[in-house]
């Protein structure tokens, strides 16, 4: 099998592309990405001095807009430090949710609290499936991140018995190991038999007397 090609193509961006660049940037990309996405949609083109110069004004505007967005995100990250978001959900007696909590749910909860956090900024490896406290990272850019606490509470009181039970990450009950009753040793059993025999003989002698 031939080794994969490491060739790249240099293009001029006509629009902003997340994680790639802004309008007027000259970037290098894989040929497949250029051929299948950037070029057919007119998002990028072959760079020329004339086109680079023509896009300088648009590039300056896009850069200013990005700085505004970054400033807003810095403010949001500062407000999220040590924040706790509480979500109320239906669950069974074991605390297992009937519907999991997703990135969208956390995003909606933060927006309701006045923080404009898109679900793509919510770093959640797996959906939350049971009540409890969970640390969740909010990240816009590499250097713009904060950790919040997400508290998922039941919409009703759980029984004390349920609260004392232990569950695994999937909400399955962890059965406590049953203690085995100590078995009498052979010596003890023999002594008990002999004692019973002696008591029977004593009772017989008393009756005869």
Q: Is residue 191 part of a domain?
A: no
Which residue range is the domain that position 136 belongs to?
Answer: 77-164
- Per the CB < 8 A criterion, the answer to whether 173 and 167 are in contact is yes
pLDDT (0 to 100) of residue 3? 46
pLDDT (0 to 100) of residue 183? 54
Q: Is residue 147 part of a domain?
A: yes
CA distance 117 to 139: 9
One domain for residues 86 and 50: no
Q: Is residue 174 part of a domain?
A: no
Q: What is the CATH number of the domain that holds 36?
A: 3.40.5.10
Q: What is the CATH number of the domain that holds 104?
A: 3.10.430.100
One domain for residues 81 and 160: yes
Residuewise pLDDT in 10s, the chain (209 residues): 444 456 899 999 999 998 899 999 999 999 999 999 999 999 999 999 999 999 999 999 999 999 999 999 999 999 998 899 999 999 998 999 999 999 999 999 999 999 999 999 999 989 999 999 999 999 998 899 999 999 999 988 876 544 455 555 555 555 555 444 555 555 544 444 455 455 555 554 544 54
CA distance 66 to 24: 14
Quick check: pTM over 0.85?
no
One domain for residues 82 and 48: no
Bridge partner list, 45: 12
DSSP 97-109: EEEEE-HHHHHHH
Q: Is residue 117 part of a domain?
A: yes
One domain for residues 43 and 87: no
Q: Which residues contact 120 (CB under 8 A, 6 or more apart)?
A: 103
Q: Is residue 134 part of a domain?
A: yes
CA distance 123 to 140: 10
CA distance 201 to 194: 11
* SS3 of residue 188 by DSSP: helix
Q: Is residue 4 part of a domain?
A: no
One domain for residues 39 and 111: no
Q: How many helices and strands in the chain, by DSSP H and E? A: 6, 9
pLDDT (0 to 100) of residue 179? 44
Q: Is residue 27 part of a domain?
A: yes
CA atoms within 13 A of residue 91's CA, in its CB half-sphere: 26
One domain for residues 85 and 42: no
The structural domain count of the chain equals 2
CA distance 139 to 111: 15
């Amino acid at each position: 099998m031939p080794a994969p090609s490491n060739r790249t193509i240099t293009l001029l961006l006509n629009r902003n592309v997340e994680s790639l660049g802004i309008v007027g940037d000259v970037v290098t990309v894989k040929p497949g990405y250029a051929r299948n996405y950037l070029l057919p949609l007119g998002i990028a083109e072959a760079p020329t001095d004339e086109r680079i110069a023509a896009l300088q004004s648009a590039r300056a505007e896009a850069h200013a807009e990005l700085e505004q967005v970054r400033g807003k995100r810095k403010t949001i990250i500062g407000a999220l430090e040590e924040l706790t978001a509480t979500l109320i959900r239906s669950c069974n007696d074991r605390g297992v949710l009937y519907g999991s909590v997703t990135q969208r749910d956390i995003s909606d909860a933060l927006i309701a609290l006045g923080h404009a956090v898109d679900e793509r900024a919510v770093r959640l490896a797996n959906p939350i499936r049971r009540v409890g406290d969970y640390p969740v990272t909010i990240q816009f850019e590499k250097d713009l991140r904060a950790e919040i606490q997400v508290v998922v509470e039941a919409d009703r009181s759980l029984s004390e018995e349920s609260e004392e039970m232990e569950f695994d990450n999937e909400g399955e009950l962890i059965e406590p190991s049953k203690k085995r009753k100590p078995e009498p040793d052979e010596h003890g059993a023999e002594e008990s038999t002999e004692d019973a025999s002696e008591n029977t003989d004593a009772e017989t002698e008393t009756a005869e007397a």
